[in-house]
Structure 1
Amino acid sequence: MSVKIHPIALLFLAQFLYVQVAEAGLLRSSGRGSQSSQVETHYYFVKNQDLVQFSDSSFGISVEAYAANSILGFEFTNTIGGGGRGISAVPTSGPTASNCNGAYNQDQVDTIQDDIDYWASSSDANAPAELANAQNALDFLINGSPCVWEFEQGEDLLAFGAFSMFFDTALIEHQVLWEITGNGLNETLAGSINEGGDIMTPDGIISTGQVMLNTTAPANLLVGDYEITAVANLTSSAGQFFFERTNTGSGSSAEVVTLGFYEEYNPAWDVWRIAYEEWQNNVLYPWQDDPNRTGSEPVFTVPEPAQTISGYRSVNGQDEVRTAETYFRSEPEMLRIVAANNTSNPTSVNAPFSALLLLFGLVGVWLRKRQYS
């Protein structure tokens, strides 16, 4: 008996030494599902020297630059897939992915509902299976659990999320803000983008290009649940953004946008022509008609512009110009503030009492062993 009770007693008593670590961060849940939309948006940044400007003040990609980029690929490009927003207030993919994929929005609900309506009225042989899949997707989307950022009151805030629109170039400025709302609070905090290497955190890896919030907590951030939203805005004086959007989904209403060729008469050519004719009448013809002329024939030094302006710009199916979005806003996630642990050792919960129990236990084991010796 003495041989068996010793390890069993130690195992039983050792569990009292468990130290609970009060560590704030991302609480991962069983996961919120999402309907993957068959929509992709490709963004291109084109430098000023490769642009043309039309009479309606819209910009286009010059024919020469478009031809070169079609062969070599655009120098600065990003893609938002799945009909997403391009930004999230929690990690949603890659090495930082959690088991929850964030909040859903009404657009996602409408997209799945469109699929349900489509398959419900379809005579396709696969309609029943597709309808069941769409109904399950809607249920999974609505009834799933979102991610929660949890911090103690007064604790520094460290949050991060996915961002598809980071352009790794000094030509483009990225402004990042994080909004916290709820319980009468409406706070906007400055964020940033990780432009360096991977950053290791207890909640995962903050990869290059992800949005971050790393700041002291606002003094009025009291205990309770809030919404936290990541916002990013792109600006540049060195060029313009263009985009294309494909949509192969059966029920999605996303507008298809392409880089369409456009050409118009160049009013600058008229200005040049008028100036040239005036020069002919006032300079060239008088010189030619002068029997005593000397020297070489005068030359008009103003270069002749093209008679047309042509280039490629983002247009929909009706050739209406579409401007690339440069403002990106995530769906809100949950921020939970809990009461602060005010003990002198905030990471130890019951270690002193557990040590005392273990001491008494070991003495008891020793005495029992002596009894059976």
Structure 2
Amino acid sequence: MPPEEDQSSHGHVILPEPTRSPWWSLGRRLLIGVGIIAFTVLLVWIDRGGYRDNNDPPGYHIDLIDALYYTTVTLSTTGYGDIAPVAPHTRLINAFIITPLRIAFLVLLIGTTLEVLATQGRRMFRIARWRSHMTEHVVIVGYGTKGRSAVDTLVNNGIQRQSIVVVDKGGAAVSDAHADGLAVVTGDATRSGVLQRAGIEQASQVIITTDRDDSNVLSTLTVRQLNPNAYIVASVREHENASLMRQSGANSVITSSDAVGRLLGLSSLSPTLGTVMEDLLTYGEGLEVAERDLLVAEVGQQPQSLPDQVIAVVRDENVYRYFDPTVTQLARGDRLIVVRPARELPWAPRPGTHGEETDSEDA
């Protein structure tokens, strides 16, 4: 693994691997190799009377060191010939036991080398294939608590994990992202080279949520320079930095300290109101805040008359509160911000939207 400063400067793509740790595989092979050597040494030592060392006087039997020496030069196919089996049964043992052990030992060494090379090649191929399919994806900068919550929300609303790329400097965040089945680019997101490895030019959305406002601002500037069309959502810890974040190119800015402070204040003033707000922010339980298309049958109606609890209307990229006179009557192309039961997938299109009915109406 390259040193951390190299990762921050250049960035490395790491795809989640379903296999065991390479250290486990290497340790297992090492134990097998040691086992083969130990068994062969024991076999030679037990039958030491059937061997002759040409450097020793006649009648002298090999000792334990000679057995270890003979084993290593035999299994490695070096074969100096100074120690040789002379008894018939010893030669049979060498032919039918030690020779297969020698072959197994060589296969073990060669197999380990080939596996390392194959793993590198397979990793390069997977990354190349991943890059070729990575377009209109979501880039998450920073995989802390906020980053994980953002990913959970996206996945629960239909975004595939394969369409999400995490950019983080490394450490525990990389392990957490791998455990969640996400591709990771390790490095500093303020550097254009790191973001380019995450395919930032083809990304449709970017969520920036590191624990430092200055890093978030620099990352936003870099993302906007590389991709003028991406929709950028960024978080800031302090409210005074929100305007700076918008000037840097963020489309939406979330002030984490203010949001938490308001929720704490509401919970203190009205515990029930705090419970409702927490319910709205918790996915999969009770109520959800969602955006949906306007149904054909709803054109011309008032927002208050719809079955869903409409809280805002999106018209021409502008957001109007449901009581605003501008949206007294809903028009074709509007989108609704609603509160609906959590059992309904919030972002899923409903039957009867304009896009689905256009052909039938024109016909």
Instruction: Report TM bin, short chain.
Output: under 0.3
TM-score, with length taken from structure 2: 0.17
* Structure having the larger proportion of residues in helix: 2
* Structure having the larger proportion of residues in strand: 1
State the structure with bigger RCO (CA 8 A, min sep 6), 1 or 2: 1
